[in-house]
Amino acid sequence: MEVKTIMVVGAGFMGAGIAQVGAQAGYKMHLYDISEAAVEKGIAGIKKILSRNVEKGKMSQADMDAAMALIVPSTKLEDAKDCEMAIEAVFENFELKKEIFQKLEAICPAGAVLATNTSSIPITKIAAAVKSPANFIGMHFFSPVPVMRLCEIIRGIKTSDECVATTIEVAEKMGKVTVISKDVPGFIVNRINAAFRNEAYRCMEEGVATIEDIDKAIKFGLNHPMGPFELADFVGLDVGFNVASTLYAGYKDARFAPNATLEKLNISGDLGRKTGKGWYDYSSGEKKPRTDVKF
Ligand SMILES: NC(=O)c1ccc[n+]([C@@H]2O[C@H](COP(=O)([O-])OP(=O)(O)OC[C@H]3O[C@@H](n4cnc5c(N)ncnc54)[C@H](O)[C@@H]3O)[C@@H](O)[C@H]2O)c1
């Protein structure tokens, strides 16, 4: 089925980003959320990013206007009736996603692709809740969506080849590089990254090097834009702890066991940049080593 019109369910951080790259690729994007305020917030965010691109000369005003004209605000799921594809990016909650896909399947044209941006819920588990699991697929974008090039395509056990091909075509038209992953905890990137991050934590706990030097080593030795500790603070230590816990529950393998110091920081409420302290101290407005805790 040729995709021309897509509904994005959830106009939050990821959903707005998906609507933006879809519209820039020429798809008509219905952007749905539970309230008008939530949809407006998502659209205002897209406008801000595109305006900045126009100011910097990265995009013409005409291209921005064309993309904005393709984004249709929605608070009625019934607007998905002409959508050959729906991409869901609501809160990470199985019951919520299940309910949304059951409704979407009844509204969308027969054969429409139903895609979820979940990071941690098995694709096959959500697919089991719909009548046509062959049309169900994982489409895992990375944040921020307009910047990060990768989109992992995750096959549920019953996802059809046609569904995979259509999804790859859409993601590539959105400017993404695609990879296909089996439906395993963490897919490819989060799985490898979790094991990598745990190794960094172990190096710190064994006294191999300081947090600052481990970050420096990875940045300058592997060309990563951020070291593992800086990145963990940026993403949020609560998010990192949840990812580790999900992977550990899935694999029951010590490689993924949530790190004990990470857990203590979580318990003490130091969640990274957003709380002012995490692996580093940001309370002065600058990133500094922590002097109030002994790692
Ligand atoms: N943030 C990331 O880095 C990231 C990366 C990859 C995947 N994901 C996944 O993407 C999804 C969304 O994450 P996010 O960071 O954009 O969250 P977010 O909190 O920014 O946005 C979620 C949106 O869902 C909306 N929502 C809640 N219930 C709804 C309903 N019943 N109907 C319609 N909309 C509803 C909320 O109003 C909100 O706007 C999650 O499944 C998350 O695991 C997030």
Ligand 1 atom at minimum distance from 116 CA:
41
Pocket flag, ligand 1, residue 15 (CB < 6 Å): yes
Please identify every stretch of the chain with a pLDDT value under 70, giving residue numbers as ranges: none
**Domains in the chain, CATH or no CATH each:** 5-181 (3.40.50.720), 190-277 (1.10.1040.10)
Which positions ≥6 away from 199 have C-beta within 8 Å? none
β-bridge mates for residue 113, sequence order: 85
Which positions ≥6 away from 275 have C-beta within 8 Å? 269
Residue 168: how many other CB atoms lie within 10 Å: 18
Is 119 an annotated catalytic residue? yes
pLDDT of residue 104: 98
H and E: helices and strands count for the chain? 11, 10
| Cα–Cα distance for residue pair 249/46, rounded to 1 Å | 36
Pocket flag, ligand 1, residue 92 (CB < 6 Å): yes
Q: Are strands 288-289 and 85-88 parallel, antiparallel or unpaired?
A: unpaired
- Contact between 229 and 279 under an 8 Å Cβ cutoff? The reply is yes
Is 284 an annotated catalytic residue? no
pLDDT of residue 285: 95
pLDDT of residue 295: 86
Pocket flag, ligand 1, residue 91 (CB < 6 Å): yes
> 56 CA distance to ligand 1 centroid (A)?
29
pLDDT of residue 1: 83
Q: In what order do the strands lie in the sheet containing 136-141? A: 71-74, 28-32, 5-9, 85-88, 113-116, 136-141, 150-155, 177-181
Tens of pLDDT along 238-257?
999 999 999 999 999 999 99
> 52 CA distance to ligand 1 centroid (A)?
24
Pocket flag, ligand 1, residue 12 (CB < 6 Å): yes
| Cα–Cα distance for residue pair 116/87, rounded to 1 Å | 6
Question: Where does residue 10 fall: left (phi above 0), alpha (psi -120 to 50 degrees), or beta otherwise?
Answer: left
pLDDT of residue 183: 97
Task: Tell me the pTM.
Answer: 0.94
Pocket flag, ligand 1, residue 38 (CB < 6 Å): yes
